[in-house]
Structure 1
Amino acid sequence: MLIYKNLKKIALTAVMVIPFLYCTDKKNVDSFELKTTPSVYWIGDGQTPLAHDSLFYGDDPAPMFRKEIQVKEKLKSATLLITAAGYYKATINGQRVGINYLDPAWTDTRKRIYYAEYDISDLLNNGNNCIGVILGNGFYNPLPLKMWGRRNLREVLDVGRPAFIAKIVLLYENGEKVEMGTDKNWKFSPSPILKNNVYLGEVYNAKNETEGWDLPGFNDSNWSEAIFSTGPEGELQKSFFPHIQITDYVKPINIYSSGKDTFIIDMGVNFTGTYRIKLSGNPGDSIVFRFGERVYPDGSLNPLTTVCGQIKKKGMGGVGAPDIAWQTDTYILKDENPVWFQPEFTFHTFRYMEVSGISAQPALSDISGLALSTAVQADNNFYSSSDLLNSIQDATQRTFRSNLMSVQSDCAAREKFGYGGDLNATSESFIYNFDMKSFYRKTVYDWVDAINDSIFVDTAPFVGIQYCGLSWESAFLTTQYYLLLYYDDQELVKEMYEFNKKWMEKAQRIHPRGVVDSGLGDHESLSPVPVELTGTSHYLMCAEIMQHFASIMNDRASEKKYEQLAASLRKQLKEQFWSKPVTEKINKQTLFATLLYHKVIPEEETKMAVDSLIQAIKEAPASHFTTGIFGTKYILEALSEYVSPEKVFEIVNSKEFPGWGFMISRGATTIWETWKESDDTFSNCHPMFGTITEWFYRWLGGIRPILQHPGFEKFIISPCTPDGLNEIRVNYRSPYGTIVSNWVKDEDKTTYEFEIPQQSSVQIQLKKDLSQKITVTAVSDPSLNPNAIKGLNEGNFELSAGKYVVTIYNHTF
């Protein structure tokens, strides 16, 4: 048990006792541990911390470290365990170790630091070898940028000089084991990377390159001895989740001149990552790269939607900060020979790349975009006969991947923070597209480290923002619920239960009346939404989740307590927003969708609420949705359940404003932060409105989990076949295997193809008239007797594991 104390206003007070799993890989019992011991130390360059903010913006070369090691014959295995405070790149004999980038994952390093374990057997030779490490700043040594003119990350994060800790373990065939850790026998020297920052970019001076520095036999006599570092205080834990890797290669589609010695490269799509480009010029030439999601009508770069913290005027970012904190890199040539450049310790979100300082136009074949993302498994797919829906799905998936950078960010350029509101809105959508189990476990632990005992925080890791309220912090609890619902992760429920109970006590202290009366409401709704509606509905959801968790824990007293709390919150929502007229200006779409989604309205009065919701949609521009971060999720579900998914399809399958189709019609390849188009403020790559992909899977594919049978042991398939759509192909990878729900329509019939994994079963719910003929063929079991299937003629029947073809004929008999 870990007792989290009040550490620098971030940790929980000692009353919160947390049963904690230390994130070990149970499947790999032979893995080694990385920990500080008398022979393994944190090491760095030992430079004195800078005394004034302005000094942070000068050159500060990333240190590179080297150590030669001897390897004997008959080596059985070799393992490198490594992590850093900041980022690291490791090489063995000049070759990169692994395929991870921007490692380790961002955490509160006061609490925990994840390390990676690499098999380096194939990189080592008999005899002398060299391991090299270069350190980047990451979020451990950020610039003192005053984001929004006031928020300096150095005042909140655990900060210091970059450092690293590593151990090599050699096992020989004769049973001999040799361990070598980081110590003072390592040497270091400044690298050609003069500056590196996750927001502003990287400066690389090739004139400072040291040929062969990470190869054996290099003369390092003039290098400095590594300096012992205290390192961060956090516990070293083996990573159990995917790392950031190159997940796609993006080929540019166009390049053109935008001024003297300046060119614009159009990558074709907006994405997060870096690039590789072939450069040439004169010795000492500085080639400058800038990045943006848009270009102006004259074709010049528009970088303003990706500017860090909206720093867009002189003095706003603090002493020494740039007037405009745009994304930029610089490469300084050392000679006339062509060279390939790829930044190492930064990442950008961009479609357009401006290159200045070169006289000759680069060839498209000499440029490649490297899309970076946490490499979550992506076995799930959605395809339809609608090009528009497919474009929306592609843009949504690209947006999601762009914002999976070890935390689930809200925008991977301007902020890069892990906001809880976006988790509450989109975690189910992410789960429908990717295997998020281990990523979201890491996310829950990030929140454990971020939460304090007195106020709600907005992000994990905590970056000092604490005004959005319960609807943001409660994401740590709802994420646990979705891990249970979709992956049957009961272990996490049990592990976090006491912590969750203490959090509910905290919520009660902050909102003793039950009504959530502070924080942010339906962010980016086109009309106002009071936090009393959305915040209290999230509190209600938390109470219901805890009621279910208490049932799992056989904690009957708590189960009853949370049941009563849920009933009280539902009553207060009903009294404030349904039983009496709402006099304040409010987005009625969000109002009625929220009340329907959270089952606040009595069953006998539901039709009135549904009629009110329909009227609110009719009164909106183009009869489309005007909802924000939470209302959009709610209205997609409520309108589908209480009216029809066909009505949702009419809205989604449109290019009029506001809507996803409008974004696509305006050239969007990622989802915007706002319904309205923004070319100077709001992110063009934001997951918030990506909830539409959840609707694709849940209603067009019809694949839905059942809480009483978590992890898809038993589930529902209830696809919708709206007019104007002729085909859907959906597959979802559940813990039991792949679920398939396809359908295709022609003039005479609708044909469904279903695949149910082994050891699971499904409740099929199809829309049909009793007079329509329905047939079932079991592809995997030709002996199946359709007449034995109960409920088949009604279109509501159960199937066990296997592959099936179900046909409903349009004509009646």
Structure 2
Amino acid sequence: MMNRLDTILRLFFLLIIPYLGMSWCFADSSIKPVNLRNEYLENPTGLDEPLPRFSWILTATHEKTFGQKQQAYRILVASSKALLQQDQADLWDSKWVSSNTMQQIVYGGKALASDRTYYWKVAVKDEKGEQSAWSEPAYWSTGLFHASEKQAQWIGTDQLFDPKQADCNIVDPWLRKSFDLPFQPQKATLFVASVGFHEVYVNGKRIGDDVLAPAVTDHTKRARYVTYDLAPALKKGKNVVAIWLGTSWSIHGPYVTKDRPNTPIVWAQAAIFKEKTPSASARPDKLLLTDASWKTHKSPNKLLGVWNSNRMGGEQWNAHDELPDWNTVAADESTWQQAVVYHPELTLSAQQVEKNYLTKEIKPVGIEERPDGSFRVDMGVNFAGWTEVKLKGHPGDTVQFLYSEREQEDMTFGLHSAYILGASGKGTFRNRFNYSSGRWITIKGLQHKPKLSDIKGWMVRTGYKPAVTFACSDALQQWIYDKVRWTYENLSLGGYIVDCPQRERLGYGGDAHATCETGMLNFHVGAFYTKWMEDWRDVSGTESIVGDMYDTSFARKAVMSGRIFNNGILPHTAPTYMGGGGPAWGGIVVTLPWLFYQQQGDKRILERNFDLISHWLSFLDTHTENGLLQRFGGNWDFLGDWLWPHATAEGMNNDKPETLCLNNCYRVYNLRTAVKIARTIGRDADAERWEKEANNYSKHIHARFYNAADHSYADSSMANLAAALLADVMPHELREPIMKRLEHEILVRKNGHIHVGITAGALLFKLLREQHRDDLIYSMTAQTDYPSWGYMKANGATSIWEMWEKDLPGHSLLHSSYLFPGAWYIDGVAGIGIDPNKPGYQNFVISPPTIPTLTWAEASMESPAGLIEVKWKRQDGQLRMQITVPPNCTATLRLSKDEQLSLAAYKDYMKAVGIQGNQQVYELQAGKYVL
């Protein structure tokens, strides 16, 4: 009897222990790894990175303890979840690595196979050497690593876009393939790359809940495939896989090439297996490929507009053309045509950024019935995304939807959609392959007034997650933060930041200065910016295009024609090529990787973009005379700052010293940033060369543009003062008086107001944030009259405008121009800053600002190293703080010498470093502090 009981107990423990994660064995560990990520993504699918990087953060097992650290880590990677649960790592066992690193740890195991799923987990040892429990298991799946594995063909239809038409002349096509399966598949991964948007269906079921796939890409060079799991929707017997294509970017002028048709096309393939976990060498039991055997048919949907600036249009649904069973096995294929095979020269790679999703639902706040029979719907907020309207009328009626940012205009930027009612006289309009942007919808042709409940809207954006919450005592500052954040989200559709979602949808490098740190400090955008930098590498060597791409008499002139030079030149937008700009637009390829590295501690982004950076700087060298960068290109290739206040009279698209000075200062700023990049990745010779160039060019700038009488540069503008200071072009002894001159410009000459545009505004705020001049930033953000963010609020803004002015026609009211305060609210007002010598927040700086009218602020940040929380409050002259320092991190607390906190309770975990300048400095270990 005892032997039988002993056997039962042994079996029980053998079975149950793996599922308990063995946590009972590690009760003494102070930490546990959580939030596992692979290439910045949670459980990503279809990665074609052969050496992916693992990241995690740590959580404390006991909230009231301090000083938690990671002394070592161990990663296990297995080919199945079952093996991982048994601690069997058949792909990679890193063994115990003595390191406190939690980010970007490169996979070091066996070569990965294409189209397989891998499982991983991590354990760590704490400050006492105690082993933690294993993390929850995570996974990722691979894409296609080798060209020989990409066997499908590009297919589409024979209908081609005619750019001479006012609206697109082609209909969004359906494509489908019927096939039999003699088994019930357990694994079936479909990779789909399309030029133009797509949706995937299996046996009538939509696969995935993402929209507007894939991410926007330079389709002269690349197509990104998206990964879909088909296995749950497939069955034994007859099946059909259907793909719906949307015209969209397939007819974008800069993407037109001789080898690709001016129509949407698709490439797709799926390996279908009987087994759920096939071996690395297993061949598929069925291979599904796009080829000439696929069938195609016109859908009821078509693009309105031509996907060009001011002509983005919308889409039209014709209910008479509906085929309810078009994507099921029951469909009659007798009227369907054969697909056409095409042979574009495109690199196929995985989409390693989050998909687009419908995010925040937006409900209308009012409907006005107007004398002309139309209805005016107020959605309450300016947004970019989808709308849905339930309709009822007469068969054949055409209902029109006009979208507007401005209350006094029915339509702005030509954004419009339509729905043609079918025989039932009922229908629902809903976007599919385009989106609108605005606050108001004018509905024409509808016989009955809709109810509020008949109308919905959604913001559509890349599916990154928020990383920060923020609140403060100042209502205007809170409004600015909220609207900056809202605007940023509405601009990030498709894996890059657009200037505006309604007029151009271009990825301007100059505007990126105004948005990228706001994005990096407020959202989990690691994959997002990694992808956008790949776009900049793709467009490198090609000049920008200005004008209507379909007007060949304009667009193909000698300059700004999109010619390929391969000399390091950059267009002003990526991946979109079109639009004007200047040196600060291309210069984002230097600035953005460095800012990203400071936030994430990611050296790979520096290494992979180093050639791009070097080529750009070399290109600028070819346009340098007598130590100064000179105008290059055409009329729209050498902008300095852009969209100043009174922008009709001011701005830097000219040949005046103001423009030459700013662009030369920015070039030096690029060089000094490149020096830091080169030294970080061991390119010391490049660093030394660029440092000499920066110092030499600085002397020429100072000699040419410095005004000794008032310690200013060029036109004495705020823009040139900020640019010169950020680039550090002046002799050391003049830096303080020039900084004083900038202070005078803001507080006295401009009466506390900002007086810069897009580029210089980003430079100004970057400078003031680095110098901890919260007083000057607060002065500019606290104003309520023109020009200011408060002026936007006073004029009913629900998003941030393109210009400081509201009523100039043709300008956007949802734009990237002035989003640079979004970073300051986190590292300035909340006081959570990076340590410039230790990127990635494993050590960070806390410095609550001293702004008399701001009495409290609080923020929580899911940093790359863990959850940081800071709350500060000043009352009756006394500072109070609550601080959370994540495990395995330290914080440097900087306080005014006049500030006193109650520190006695934490004397074992807080160390006074000393006095630095006018601040007292402390070092805090991990833990939660109430001071």
TM-score normalised per structure 2 = 0.75
Equivalent residue, structure 1, for 2:462: 374
Report if aligned partners of 1:157, 1:463 keep a CA contact under 8 Å in 2. Answer: no
2: CA distance, partners of 1:696 / 1:767: 19
Report if aligned partners of 2:668, 2:697 keep a CA contact under 8 Å in 1. Answer: yes
Equivalent residue, structure 2, for 1:803: 928
Equivalent residue, structure 1, for 2:787: 658
Report if aligned partners of 1:528, 1:586 keep a CA contact under 8 Å in 2. Answer: no
2: CA distance, partners of 1:784 / 1:76: 59
Matched, 1:131 2:241: yes
2:365 corresponds to which letter in structure 1? I
Tell me which of 705, 708, 726 is aligned to 1:577: 705
Matched, 1:417 2:506: yes
The structural deviation recorded for 1:159 is: 5.8
Report if aligned partners of 2:600, 2:840 keep a CA contact under 8 Å in 1. Answer: yes
Aligned residue for 1:446, secondary structure, equals helix
The structural deviation recorded for 1:640 is: 5.7
2: CA distance, partners of 1:477 / 1:789: 37
Q: Deviations over 1:517-542 (max 9, x none)?
A: 32111101234552223212221122
Equivalent residue, structure 2, for 1:117: 227
Aligned residue for 2:891, secondary structure, equals strand
Tell me which of 276, 290, 293 is aligned to 1:185: 293
Equivalent residue, structure 2, for 1:563: 691
Equivalent residue, structure 1, for 2:662: 534
In structure 2, relative to structure 1, the CA distance for the partners of 1:613 and 1:546 (3 Å cut) is closer
1: CA distance, partners of 2:590 / 2:158: 41
Tell me which of 248, 257, 270 is aligned to 1:168: 270
TM-score normalised per structure 1 = 0.86
Equivalent residue, structure 2, for 1:791: 914
What does 1:494-509 align with in structure 2 at a 5 Å threshold? 494-509=607-622
Matched, 1:523 2:642: yes
The structural deviation recorded for 1:241 is: 0.7
1: CA distance, partners of 2:910 / 2:677: 40
2: CA distance, partners of 1:249 / 1:118: 25
Report if aligned partners of 2:666, 2:723 keep a CA contact under 8 Å in 1. Answer: no
Report if aligned partners of 1:410, 1:688 keep a CA contact under 8 Å in 2. Answer: yes
Q: Cα RMSD (Å) of the superposition?
A: 2.8
Tell me which of 522, 530, 536 is aligned to 1:441: 530
In structure 2, relative to structure 1, the CA distance for the partners of 1:640 and 1:65 (3 Å cut) is closer
Report if aligned partners of 1:109, 1:158 keep a CA contact under 8 Å in 2. Answer: no
Matched, 1:26 2:86: no
1:559 corresponds to which letter in structure 2? A
1:799 corresponds to which letter in structure 2? L
Report if aligned partners of 2:589, 2:612 keep a CA contact under 8 Å in 1. Answer: no
Equivalent residue, structure 2, for 1:85: 195
In structure 2, relative to structure 1, the CA distance for the partners of 1:132 and 1:587 (3 Å cut) is farther
Matched, 1:287 2:399: yes
The structural deviation recorded for 1:635 is: 3.1
The structural deviation recorded for 1:359 is: 2.0
Report if aligned partners of 2:518, 2:822 keep a CA contact under 8 Å in 1. Answer: yes
Report if aligned partners of 1:93, 1:131 keep a CA contact under 8 Å in 2. Answer: yes
Equivalent residue, structure 2, for 1:235: 347
Aligned residue for 1:191, secondary structure, equals strand
2: CA distance, partners of 1:437 / 1:601: 35
Report if aligned partners of 1:284, 1:332 keep a CA contact under 8 Å in 2. Answer: yes
2: CA distance, partners of 1:373 / 1:362: 27
What fraction of aligned residue pairs are identical, expressed as a percent?
25
Aligned residue for 2:629, secondary structure, equals coil
The structural deviation recorded for 1:123 is: 2.5
Tell me which of 755, 775, 795 is aligned to 2:884: 755
In structure 2, relative to structure 1, the CA distance for the partners of 1:442 and 1:775 (3 Å cut) is same
1: CA distance, partners of 2:229 / 2:220: 28
1:190 corresponds to which letter in structure 2? K
Deviates more, 1:593-602 or 1:756-765: 593-602
Report if aligned partners of 2:302, 2:316 keep a CA contact under 8 Å in 1. Answer: yes
Report if aligned partners of 1:380, 1:733 keep a CA contact under 8 Å in 2. Answer: yes
The structural deviation recorded for 1:737 is: 1.3
In structure 2, relative to structure 1, the CA distance for the partners of 1:229 and 1:747 (3 Å cut) is same
Equivalent residue, structure 2, for 1:148: none
Tell me which of 490, 498, 511 is aligned to 2:624: 511
> Structure 1: where are the runs of 5+ without partners?
1-20, 145-151, 308-325, 807-813
The structural deviation recorded for 1:404 is: 0.9
2: CA distance, partners of 1:57 / 1:179: 39
What does 1:228-307 align with in structure 2 at a 5 Å threshold? 228-230=341-343, 232-296=344-408, 301-304=409-412, 307=413
Report if aligned partners of 1:254, 1:267 keep a CA contact under 8 Å in 2. Answer: yes
In structure 2, relative to structure 1, the CA distance for the partners of 1:447 and 1:372 (3 Å cut) is same
What does 1:596-607 align with in structure 2 at a 5 Å threshold? 596-607=725-736
In structure 2, relative to structure 1, the CA distance for the partners of 1:786 and 1:496 (3 Å cut) is closer
Equivalent residue, structure 1, for 2:572: 458
Matched, 1:105 2:215: yes
Equivalent residue, structure 1, for 2:717: 588
Deviates more, 1:67-76 or 1:727-736: 67-76
Equivalent residue, structure 1, for 2:820: 691
Aligned residue for 1:668, secondary structure, equals coil
Deviates more, 1:410-419 or 1:553-562: 553-562
Equivalent residue, structure 2, for 1:12: none
In structure 2, relative to structure 1, the CA distance for the partners of 1:241 and 1:283 (3 Å cut) is same
1:553 corresponds to which letter in structure 2? I
1: CA distance, partners of 2:613 / 2:769: 32
In structure 2, relative to structure 1, the CA distance for the partners of 1:587 and 1:579 (3 Å cut) is closer
1: CA distance, partners of 2:838 / 2:152: 47
2:457 corresponds to which letter in structure 1? G
What does 1:465-504 align with in structure 2 at a 5 Å threshold? 465=579, 467-504=580-617
1: CA distance, partners of 2:498 / 2:148: 31
In structure 2, relative to structure 1, the CA distance for the partners of 1:99 and 1:497 (3 Å cut) is same
2: CA distance, partners of 1:795 / 1:274: 52
The structural deviation recorded for 1:74 is: 4.8
Deviates more, 1:503-512 or 1:233-242: 503-512
Aligned residue for 1:655, secondary structure, equals coil
Deviates more, 1:344-353 or 1:593-602: 593-602
Matched, 1:402 2:490: yes
1: CA distance, partners of 2:783 / 2:421: 50
Report if aligned partners of 1:673, 1:688 keep a CA contact under 8 Å in 2. Answer: yes
Report if aligned partners of 2:152, 2:291 keep a CA contact under 8 Å in 1. Answer: yes
2: CA distance, partners of 1:100 / 1:512: 51
Equivalent residue, structure 2, for 1:312: none
| Number of equivalences | 744
Deviates more, 1:579-588 or 1:672-681: 579-588
In structure 2, relative to structure 1, the CA distance for the partners of 1:513 and 1:478 (3 Å cut) is farther
What does 1:140-219 align with in structure 2 at a 5 Å threshold? 140-142=250-252, 160-173=262-275, 177-197=285-305, 198=307, 199-219=312-332
Deviates more, 1:368-377 or 1:31-40: 31-40
Q: Deviations over 1:326-345 (max 9, x none)?
A: 00101000033532221211
Aligned residue for 1:738, secondary structure, equals strand
1:651 corresponds to which letter in structure 2? M
Equivalent residue, structure 2, for 1:730: 859
1: CA distance, partners of 2:751 / 2:807: 20
Deviates more, 1:354-363 or 1:493-502: 493-502
2: CA distance, partners of 1:383 / 1:721: 16
In structure 2, relative to structure 1, the CA distance for the partners of 1:715 and 1:265 (3 Å cut) is same
Matched, 1:42 2:42: no
Deviates more, 1:329-338 or 1:234-243: 329-338
The structural deviation recorded for 1:40 is: 1.7
2: CA distance, partners of 1:776 / 1:589: 42
Equivalent residue, structure 1, for 2:875: 746
Equivalent residue, structure 2, for 1:702: 831
Aligned residue for 1:295, secondary structure, equals coil
1: CA distance, partners of 2:366 / 2:165: 39
Q: Deviations over 1:263-287 (max 9, x none)?
A: 1111111111111111111100000
Q: Deviations over 1:349-375 (max 9, x none)?
A: 111111110121111111111211111
Deviates more, 1:71-80 or 1:469-478: 71-80
